[in-house]
């Protein structure tokens, strides 16, 4: 493991948090969104042997540096992440890693704030490596169904995740795949965190195009649920092919239209992105997805990742004045595809 800093948040090993969670090992440090919420991550264990994920925040570093703006942002990010986890727990959301507790601890005279959440051994990226042909299509579709269910639960509670990607879908030892890391989320029922004012909060190579072009649609729902829909579609594409759709598409269009070159209106690029989707999605999924499922998978990705956020979503929802961000039909589609792929693999055996 690479050397990390020496702030108090990075010296929690051996401490017992909330009188129950013994911190065993450090996992990583995380700079948060644009470095606004630097945190250190640990694995802790309860007396009964239950593991937990600990995220410790180092406020003192900013305080000592005299950067009060950054300190304020960090505190607000911490409060938001804690509150949104508690809100999820209280709303009965069970497809997102649960919070066990939050608090503070004095480490050598310095206060460290922390969150303790449900532990997952592996993330989807490790459990089902993207593009790895050894993973069955059935397992992949089942994982996508679980992620879609988690997003649907969040949406129902008024929360947009905004950073659904292979490393943020985690696989507990038993049970369905869950979503983790609500640090980039946005919640209608809580005070807006500082990152709500930023255009792009998720990882850029998975992000929807309108955010990469810094042209988010006006309106909370279309902007944030629309982002989640795109991320789900991109997760579907990435998990099968090994490459992100955003990256591939933006390299397929002429360089003059890419976000690094183009400063015009996003609407001018949309038709070109649509064309690129039609050429790329089918081309790559036909190679990576078993033939009887490829057409449906293509249709799902094209619907979820439509470059125009107003045309994103299930075609039946869009045409029948239903909830354009509704994920129920996609959950059914993924479930059906998982079963179909399973039948196919049995047939082959």
Partner 1 sequence: MDDDRTSLDAMLHARTIVPRWKSPHSAVEGLHFDKARLRPRARIGDAWIQRLSKRYGQFPSPHLANELYETASLYGLIGDLPNAVLQQAADHRGSTSVRAKPPEIYDGISSQRESNSVEVHEQASRAEIHRLRRILARNSDRPLCWSELARHYLIVAEQGKAIRSMQVALQLAKANRYLYRAATRLFVHVHEPERALSLLHSAAAIRTDPALLAAEIAASSTIKRNSRFIGVAQGLLASDHFTSGQLSELAAAVGTVELINGATKRARQRFHESLVAPTENSLAQAQWATEQDRKIVIPAAAWTTPDSHEALALARRQDRDWATVLRFCAAWLAEEPFSSRAAMMGSFVGFRPEHNAAAEQFASAGLRCDSGHVGLLNNRAVARAYLGRTSEAYSDVREATRHDTGRNSAALLATLGLIAFRSGMPDLGREFYERSIAWLTASKDHTSVARALIYLAREEIRSDPARTASSIELAHRVAKSQYAYRQPEILGMSELVIEEAERAASTERTFPANEAGLPASADDFRHQAALFRTPKNIQSGWTRIPDFSRLI
Please give the DSSP secondary-structure letter assigned to residue 217: P
Out of 222, 253, 336, 344, which residue is the one contacting partner 1 (CB under 8 A)?
A: 253
Exposed, middle or buried: residue 103 (CB in 10 Å: 0-12, 13-18, 19+)?
A: middle
> Which is nearest to 170 in space by CA: 27, 12, 38, 2?
27
| Sheet containing 16-17, strands listed edge to edge, beginning at the edge strand earlier in sequence | 16-17, 21-30, 39-45, 51-57, 110-118, 99-107
Q: At which residue do the structure tokens 């039948």 appear?
A: 343
- Taken in order 127, 98, 185, 270, the sign of the CA dihedral is positive
Stretch in the footprint of partner 1 (CB under 8 A) among 72-80, 226-234, 302-310, 330-338: 302-310
192 binds partner 1 (CB under 8 A): no
CA quadruple 137, 238, 227, 306: dihedral positive or negative?
negative
Considering only 156, 267, 316, 339, the residue that binds partner 1 (CB under 8 A) is 267
Contact status: 21 vs partner 1 (CB under 8 A): no
- Please identify, using beta-carbon distances, which residue of 124 and 152 lies nearer to partner 1: 124
Give me the half-sphere count of Cα atoms (radius 13 Å) on the Cβ side of residue 278: 5
Find the binder of partner 1 among 242, 296, 322, 345 (CB under 8 A): 242
Q: Could you list the beta-strand ranges (E) of the chain.
A: 16-17, 21-30, 39-45, 51-57, 99-107, 110-118, 122-123, 159-160, 169-171, 178-179, 186-187
By CB under 8 A, what part of segment 269-298 binds partner 1?
A: 270-272, 274-276, 278-280, 283-284, 287-288
> Should residue 138 be labelled a site residue for partner 1 when binding is judged by CB under 8 A?
no
Residue 2 in the binding site for partner 1 (CB under 8 A): yes
Q: Among 64, 132, 175, 339, which residue sits at the site for partner 1 (rule: CB under 8 A)?
A: 132
Terminal CA-CA length for the chain: 42
Give the Cα separation of 152 and 327 in Å (integer). 6
Q: Does 252 bind partner 1 (CB under 8 A)?
A: yes
CB 134 within 8 A of CB 179: no
Q: Which is nearer to partner 1, 158 or 290 (CB)?
A: 290
Q: Say whether residue 250 binds partner 1 (CB under 8 A).
A: yes
Contact segment (CB under 8 A) with partner 1 among 72-80, 125-133, 144-152, 186-194 equals: 125-133
* Nearer to partner 1 (CB atom), residue 64 or residue 199: 199
Q: Tell me: does residue 308 bind partner 1 (CB under 8 A).
A: yes
CB of 9 to partner 1, least distance (A): 15
Q: Estimate to the nearest angstrom the gap between the alpha carbon of 180 and the chain centroid.
A: 7
Site pattern 26..55 for partner 1 (x: CB under 8 A):
--xxxx--xx--------------------
Nearer to partner 1 (CB atom), residue 67 or residue 191:
67
Cα-trace Rg, the chain: 21
User: In the complex, which residues of this chain contact partner 1 (CB under 8 A)?
Assistant: 1-2, 4, 28-31, 34-35, 125, 129-132, 166, 199-200, 203-205, 212, 214, 240-244, 246-248, 250-254, 256-265, 267-268, 270-272, 274-276, 278-280, 283-284, 287-288, 302, 306, 308, 311
């Amino acid at each position: 493991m690479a050397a990390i800093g020496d702030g108090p948040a990075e010296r929690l090993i051996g401490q017992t948090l909330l009188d129950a969670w013994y911190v065993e090992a450090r996992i990583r440090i995380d700079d948060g969104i644009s470095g606004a919420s630097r945190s250190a991550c640990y694995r802790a264990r309860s007396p009964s042997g239950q593991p937990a994920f600990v995220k410790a925040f180092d406020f003192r570093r900013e305080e000592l540096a005299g950067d009060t703006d950054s300190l304020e942002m960090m505190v607000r990010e911490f409060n938001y992440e804690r509150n949104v986890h508690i809100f999820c727990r209280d709303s009965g959301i069970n497809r997102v890693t649960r919070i066990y507790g939050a608090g503070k601890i004095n480490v050598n005279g310095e206060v460290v704030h922390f969150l303790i959440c449900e532990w997952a051994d592996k993330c989807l990226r490790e459990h089902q490596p993207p593009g790895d042909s050894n993973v069955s299509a059935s397992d992949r579709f089942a994982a996508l169904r679980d992620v879609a269910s988690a997003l649907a639960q969040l949406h129902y509670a008024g929360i947009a995740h905004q950073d659904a990607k292979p490393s943020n879908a985690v696989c507990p030892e038993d049970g369905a795949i869950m979503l983790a890391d609500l640090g980039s989320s946005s919640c209608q029922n809580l005070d807006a965190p500082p990152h709500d004012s930023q255009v792009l909060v998720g990882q850029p190579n998975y992000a929807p195009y309108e955010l990469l072009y810094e042209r988010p649609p006006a309106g909370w729902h279309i902007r944030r649920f629309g982002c989640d829909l795109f991320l789900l579609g991109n997760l579907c594409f990435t998990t099968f092919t090994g490459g992100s759709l955003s990256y591939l598409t933006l390299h397929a269009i002429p360089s003059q239209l890419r976000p690094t070159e183009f400063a015009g209106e996003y609407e001018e690029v949309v038709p070109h992105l649509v064309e690129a989707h039609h050429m790329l999605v089918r081309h790559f999924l036909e190679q990576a997805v078993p033939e009887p499922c490829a057409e449906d998978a293509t249709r799902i990705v094209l619907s979820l990742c439509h470059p125009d956020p107003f045309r994103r979503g299930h075609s039946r929802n869009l045409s029948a004045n239903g909830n354009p961000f509704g994920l129920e039909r996609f959950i059914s589609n993924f479930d059906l595809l998982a079963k179909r792929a399973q039948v196919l693999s049995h047939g082959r055996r």
